[in-house]
Amino acid sequence: MNNSLKFWKRKTDTAPVEEPVKERGYFESVASPDVTVRNIAAKAQTVEGPEMAMKLATVYRCVSILSGSIASLPLQVKRKKNGVFMVDEASELNYLLSVAPNSRQTAYEMIRNAIIQTVNLGNAYIYPDWSEGEPKSLTLLSPGSVTYDKFLNFYIVNDPINGIYKSLECDEIIHLRNISLDGGYTGESTIRYASRIMSVAYSADEKSLDMFQPGSTYSGFISGNDDDQTTGYEQYNETQLKDVSDRFRKELRSGERITYLPGQLRFNQLSMSPADIQLLEKQKFSVLDLCRFYGVHPDKAFAGQSQNYKASEMSQVQYMTDTIQPYLRQIANEFFVKLIPRSVAAKYRIEFDLEAFYQTDLETMALNMEKCIQYGIYTVNEYRQKRGMPPVDGGDVAMISCNVAPINSPKINGEVLNNSNNGDKNEEKPQEVPPKNKETSAV
């Protein structure tokens, strides 16, 4: 009995055999549950406001070219005279729309900033100040100073910058809206629709900035060197590794090219991950996506697309037709409804002068001038007036080319035309023989 107890006791008191520790690679260490992995990457920021969006080069260029293209076109008031709508240069409203709408802005600045607010904020508000039945000023209200109740169709203005505090009916304020989701009552910002694409582009820019910062050339992790571990010394704990990593990172970012690590630590360098490379490649496609949101051709955003002169010219026409024209129609219609009384609406028009948009090379401009004069569209003096040149005698007569004729006309067949209405005037007269002088008769 005692022998059996001693046998079991011997079995129980035997020390457990330690299994050899298996060396683990980098990926096995990261995936192991007993290893603490700290993600030091910053959380990706979401572009939600115009300030962050305008930091992107493509967004800035699209907003700039869109607002500048529209504001560069003169907005004119035309009055009907003798059945033709002519620019009413004597009108006070025409001066406000084409020169200076108020004491703080020019017409170009007001229209451009109104488009910027419409695109980036969704809505832009312009307050017309009336006096004696005529508008005396047009003021672009500050962003966020207008509250619109779409149920009552009522506007409340609290603008401390311009000193305007009013409650206005819908026909007392000019309201420019971006693309709407509630039926056209209020506009939505383009940034809201393109927030995801802008966030990707913003993350790519942040990654590029981080890569070119001092000390960002190297990336990796610091670990203990198990091969050189001296017997009797403990391994580095996490706090010690963190202190060394912070010092190492600080020295590299300060521009230091030579630094040091303790003998039992080593730096494991990591190359750029495929995700980082793909993110940087995404920058090329983000330009095209942002141009689609703003309706601007990539050629105008300096995307670097190779194309010939004809393709560039057609992109200009497409930009005018698909992008600019809807904005021009919206602005002109809103100004006309709010500034022209309905009783005289048939006698007035508010339109943009589109001729200022088509700026091209001198040869093409000369060819267009020749065709307009040749077919009687403009007179010589009208074109000289456009170029700031004095009129010439006989330049007020419209001319037309006479080099065309019906295909079956006698002129094409080579026949001689006789005008029967002139009677004997068209009859050929015998050629008179000049008298001979004395020398000739003598001979």
pLDDT in tens, 250-299: 766 665 666 656 666 666 665 555 655 665 666 667 888 899 999 998 88
Do residues 335 and 408 both lie within one domain?
no
pLDDT digits (tens, 9 = 90+) for 221-240: 555 555 555 443 455 666 76
Of 12-16, 86-90, 124-128, give the lowest mean pLDDT range. Answer: 12-16
Contact yes or no for 351/147 (Cβ under 8 A)? no
Both 64 and 110 in one domain: the answer is yes
> What pLDDT score does 31 carry?
46
Q: Which ranges in 131-218 belong to alpha helices (H)? A: 190-193, 195-211
| Same domain (yes/no): 350, 386 | no
Number of separate domains in the chain: 2
The reported pLDDT for the residue numbered 369 is: 86
For all residues of the chain together, what is the average pLDDT? 78
Residue 266 sits at φ, ψ, to 5 deg, of -140, 150
* Domain assignment of residue 423, yes or no: no
Residue 106 is part of which domain span?
50-194+319-356
Q: Identify whether residues 347 and 370 lie together within a single domain.
A: no
Asked whether residue 148 is domain-assigned, the answer is yes
Question: Would 3 be classed as within a structural domain?
Answer: no
Residues 327 and 368 in one domain: no
Same domain, 349 and 373: no
Instruction: Tell me, yes or no, whether 388 lies in a domain.
Output: yes
Considering the domain boundaries, does residue 249 fall inside one? no
**Do 124 and 92 belong to one domain?**
yes
Are 153 and 182 part of one and the same domain?
yes
Tokens 């005289």 belong to which residue?
344
Let me know whether 129 and 162 are in one domain: yes
**104 in any annotated domain:** yes
pLDDT at position 24, please?
Answer: 46
Identify the pLDDT of residue 23. Answer: 46
Kindly report the CATH number assigned to the domain that includes residue 325.
3.40.140.120
Residues 333 and 322 sit within 8 Å (Cβ to Cβ): no
Nearest to 137, CA basis, from 157, 167, 107, 177? 107
Q: How many CA atoms lie within 13 A of 417 on its CB side?
A: 8
Q: Specify whether 336 is located in the same domain as 406.
A: no
What is the phi/psi pair of residue 435, to 5°? Answer: -65, 145
Report the helix count and the strand count for the chain, using DSSP H and E.
16, 11
| CB neighbourhood size of 235 (10 A) | 12
- Judge residue 224's burial from the number of C-beta atoms within 10 Å of its C-beta, 0-12 exposed, 13-18 middle, 19 or more buried: middle
Q: Answer whether residue 12 is part of any domain.
A: no
Q: Per the domain annotation, does 331 fall within a domain?
A: yes
Say yes or no: 98 and 151 in one domain.
yes
**378 and 345, same structural domain?**
no
